[in-house]
Chains A and B, each alone.
Chain A
């Protein structure tokens, strides 16, 4: 068996009683005490996540912006320094290489934050497509740890530990030269939970100090460590796509409901032609939200039925902790995706009724000012 990779916070997870699992080759805690408890803490107070497994790829050089525009589907041309843009990155056929965050850390310096399990693949893809651009590409993942503090109390807790004015950091903006708990880091108002919150990028050797300091400092506010289980249930309720589920090499961003992040009208980019054709011809299938009206829990891979015929499969599904009912995202024939459509989910051979509902299931007003 391959030795699992450990983040700089591995010992902290073990000491806190976290139950670690193999997550894409990384030993990470799925939960500390209870997924439901950790989920609720983030919705109501705050949770602290170790997301050090995420990959970071550094792009620098005079052509960095032009290169990024070529690589990704969203339009980054209006990005200001310290701004962050979310975008799918596609293959020529419109399939997704990965979905990434692009940080403009200074004029010609960008960080691409990528899914952990895609880091090597992304780095290869990016370097293979870099010819002709005056840009240097480096995989800096081993030099960067990442901690996310998420939830309504996140700002209050974090502000106690930094002299930076977090109130001035807008949603999807960052401070690349912040100091938190006395350690240098990059902090951004971003997250993957549907709540307000921050992500902190620091040196691996500083991660433990920042982690312990924040946990101690936020105790009175109800801050607790939260594992991968809660991270998944939180992102799911907010209908944030997960690579390999709602988008993949075989599921285009248009099918995955990420059309807003595909700017066909910008300069040419990889996948543009295929995506334009998909849009013009109409999508055979796309991702829709489903609410189970019968009893049970919809799970990934379960067939979705209309009039006894399979019309697609669930991409992510669970018992929603916030709504206490079975919810799912499913890739189904486009003709059945209108809100209110009555479908069924095949749960262990039984057709359980479900209705198409709007996504996100959970929406909180983000701080955008």
Chain B
């Protein structure tokens, strides 16, 4: 199963086996504007769903990225260290932020699919 799931804080998560790849959505990136810095999580850190996983900074402001699922950080996208603009160019793909080895995959059930997320964004921007 590799369907993409979404949070109300505008993170996305893509699951392969027990590994969740996490990023922020195209909508979030558009709202934030030019991204200039990403504070990546430390590999080996234990995160819990809803806690701060990373931070993304635009010219104007810093925003937290929350972990959509609990687990251990097994990889961070170091390409973002050199070029945070990758997030603007490819938020849903090359601009992924971290990979988490899930401790409780059932947490995914609480997340939205794309249709639900699009609906959520539409309502939120009213």
By the criterion CB–CB under 8 Å, are B37 and A35 in contact?
Answer: no
Query: Which of A233, A299, A326 has a CB less than 8 Å from the CB of B61?
Result: A299
**Which B residues touch A233, using CB under 8 A?**
59
Q: Is B62 among interface residues, defined by CB-CB distance under 8 A?
A: yes
Q: Is A34 among interface residues, defined by CB-CB distance under 8 A?
A: yes
**Secondary structure at chain A's binding surface: helix, strand, loop or mixed?**
mixed
User: What's the nearest-Cβ distance from chain A to residue B83, in Å?
Assistant: 11
By the criterion CB–CB under 8 Å, are B62 and A34 in contact?
Answer: no
Query: Which of A34, A318, A326, A348 has a CB less than 8 Å from the CB of B33?
Result: A34
Kindly identify, within residues 27 to 73 of chain A, every residue whose CB is under 8 Å from any CB belonging to chain B: 30-31, 34-37, 39
**Which B residues touch A30, using CB under 8 A?**
60
- Partner-B contacts on A (CB < 8 A): 30-31, 34-37, 39, 229, 233, 295-297, 299, 318-319, 321, 326, 348
By the criterion CB–CB under 8 Å, are A34 and B34 in contact?
Answer: yes
| Total contacting residues, chain B, CB less than 8 A | 13
By the criterion CB–CB under 8 Å, are A229 and B59 in contact?
Answer: yes
With A31-B33, A36-B36 given, name 12 new contacts (CB 8 A): A35-B34, A36-B59, A229-B60, A295-B81, A296-B37, A296-B39, A296-B57, A297-B36, A299-B61, A318-B60, A319-B36, A321-B59
A348 CA / B37 CA spacing, docked (Å): 14
Number of inter-chain CB pairs below 8 Å: 40
By the criterion CB–CB under 8 Å, are B33 and A229 in contact?
Answer: yes
**Which A residues touch B62, using CB under 8 A?**
297, 299
A34 CA / B32 CA spacing, docked (Å): 10
Kindly identify, within residues 87 to 112 of chain B, every residue whose CB is under 8 Å from any CB belonging to chain A: none
A35 CA / B59 CA spacing, docked (Å): 7
A170 CA / B110 CA spacing, docked (Å): 64
**Which A residues touch B39, using CB under 8 A?**
295-296, 348
Chain B CB within 10 Å, residue with most, of A31, A37, A318, A319: A319
Query: Interface code B57-68, partner A: CB below 8 Å = 1, 0 otherwise?
Result: 111111000000
A348 CA / B41 CA spacing, docked (Å): 13
**Which A residues touch B37, using CB under 8 A?**
295-297, 319, 326
A36 CA / B85 CA spacing, docked (Å): 11
A299 CA / B39 CA spacing, docked (Å): 14
**Which B residues touch A295, using CB under 8 A?**
37, 39, 81
**Which B residues touch A321, using CB under 8 A?**
59
A296 CA / B39 CA spacing, docked (Å): 7
Q: Is B55 among interface residues, defined by CB-CB distance under 8 A?
A: yes
A362 CA / B86 CA spacing, docked (Å): 27
A229 CA / B34 CA spacing, docked (Å): 11
**Which A residues touch B61, using CB under 8 A?**
299
**Which A residues touch B57, using CB under 8 A?**
296-297, 319
User: What's the nearest-Cβ distance from chain A to residue B44, in Å?
Assistant: 17
**Which A residues touch B60, using CB under 8 A?**
30, 35, 229, 318
